[in-house]
Structures are given as structure tokens and as C-alpha cells.
């Protein structure tokens, strides 16, 4: 059976690590493929819809697991109707990665922006001046937040210079907390089980 993970490029580093672990641990007897859409399509809902539908029409797989948060597009339920998809639970990529609570079990602060190392690596793809999002727009986007928490899942290395550059563009203080990919991996296991119609 062929299963395709289709979704936002923000998931690429974590998803490829998890898929590699699936193969190493021999968890599933199926073939996995991935299709990632560029982060910048999020700034244009019409473009996001077009790209998602186009990718769904072109993908070659028995089952598709859609890698977007539930609220990444307000019309997901409408324009995805008719496609046989596995949808993830979580309003945003942050909830798909980390759940509704922080690694220490505390509730999230609505005035805090939570991010993973993938966000730190890929933020330039989202805030692309060519798509109408410049440095001023970026600061406006982060003006609501009092601080930023980078949850280090260990997926990739980053430097103090990377953090400083992100701060210079947002002007919001950044803290680092330790986390892992346990919840994300478990969510991917559940999605593949659903695709394979495995009943617990």
C-alpha cells in the first residue's frame, strides 16, 4: 500500500525523521512518499487552496495524510469534501507538533508565540517579500506577542546567530525550552494506522 504525506513544508525535517524511524523499526508494511508545499502559500488563501487541490489531484497513492493544521484555511472542510483523506487533529502546525500543552504540562500563554527549530530554519520561506510580506509586515505579525518560546525538539542544529537574526526581525524576546517529537510521532502513527484501517 502506498501512503503519501502531503502538506506544509514546515513538517519536512520532523516528518522525514519519523518516517525513517518507521522503516528502521519496521512498524508498517507500506510505501511512504511525501509532497511538501512552500510555506509562503499561507499568505494567500486562494493560492493555498489552489496548491492543495492541485497536489491532491496529482498525487499517486492509495491513501493521503494531509499535513496541515485544521485552521490553516477556513474553507478546508468545503473544498476538501470529496477527497478521501486522513486529516490531522490540531488547529495549527504547533499543535500537531507539540499538542495543546507545553512539554512541562502547562497551558499555553496566548500572548506567547511557540515555534520549533523547523520554524527557525524556514521562517524566510514564509516571510517572503516577493509574496508581499516584508520586514515591516513581519514585525506587525508579531506585535501581538510578548515573547517567543522556541521548543527545541533536537531535530536540527541552530546557533545563537540564528536566534538573534530572528529576534532582529520580530523584536520579540526569545526563550528556549527543551522538548521532543514523541507527540508528533504518535500522531503520525495514529494517522498511518487510520490509513491502513488498523483498529486498536
Residue 200 lies in a domain: no
- Do 77 and 99 lie in one domain? The reply is no
Per the structure, the complete domain to which residue 127 belongs is given by: 95-178
Residue 143 lies in a domain: yes
Alpha-carbon distance of 57 to 160, in angstroms, equals 42
Residue 140 has pLDDT above 80, yes or no: no
Residue carrying the nine cell digits 499561507: 42
Q: What's the predicted TM-score (pTM) here? A: 0.85
Tally of domains within the chain = 2
- Do 116 and 174 lie in one domain? The reply is yes
Residue 56 has pLDDT above 50, yes or no: yes
pLDDT in the model for residue 200? 39
- Do 109 and 61 lie in one domain? The reply is no
Residue 103 has pLDDT above 60, yes or no: no
Q: What is the mean pLDDT of residues 23-51?
A: 90
Residue 199 has pLDDT above 50, yes or no: no
Residue 190 lies in a domain: yes
Alpha-carbon distance of 130 to 198, in angstroms, equals 44
Amino acid at each position: 500500500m502506498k501512503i503519501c504525506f502531503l502538506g506544509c513544508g514546515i513538517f519536512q525535517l520532523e516528518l522525514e525523521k519519523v518516517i525513517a524511524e518507521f522503516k528502521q523499526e519496521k512498524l508498517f508494511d507500506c510505501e511512504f512518499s511525501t509532497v511538501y508545499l512552500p510555506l509562503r502559500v499561507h499568505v494567500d488563501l486562494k493560492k493555498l487552496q489552489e496548491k492543495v487541490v492541485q497536489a491532491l489531484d496529482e498525487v499517486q497513492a492509495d491513501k493521503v495524510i494531509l499535513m496541515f493544521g485544521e485552521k490553516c484555511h477556513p474553507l478546508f472542510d468545503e473544498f476538501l469534501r470529496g477527497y478521501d483523506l486522513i486529516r490531522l487533529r490540531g488547529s495549527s502546525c504547533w499543535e500537531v507538533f507539540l499538542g495543546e500543552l507545553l512539554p512541562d504540562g502547562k497551558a499555553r500563554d496566548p500572548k506567547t508565540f511557540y515555534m520549533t527549530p523547523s520554524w527557525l530554519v524556514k521562517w524566510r520561506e514564509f516571510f517572503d517579500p516577493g509574496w508581499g510580506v516584508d520586514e515591516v509586515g513581519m514585525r506587525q505579525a508579531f506585535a501581538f506577542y510578548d515573547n517567543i518560546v522556541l521548543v527545541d525538539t533536537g531535530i536540527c542544529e541552530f546557533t545563537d546567530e540564528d536566534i538573534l537574526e530572528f529576534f532582529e526581525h520580530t523584536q520579540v524576546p526569545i526563550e528556549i525550552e527543551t522538548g521532543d517529537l514523541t507527540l508528533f510521532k504518535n500522531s503520525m502513527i495514529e494517522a498511518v494506522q487510520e490509513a491502513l484501517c488498523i483498529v486498536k
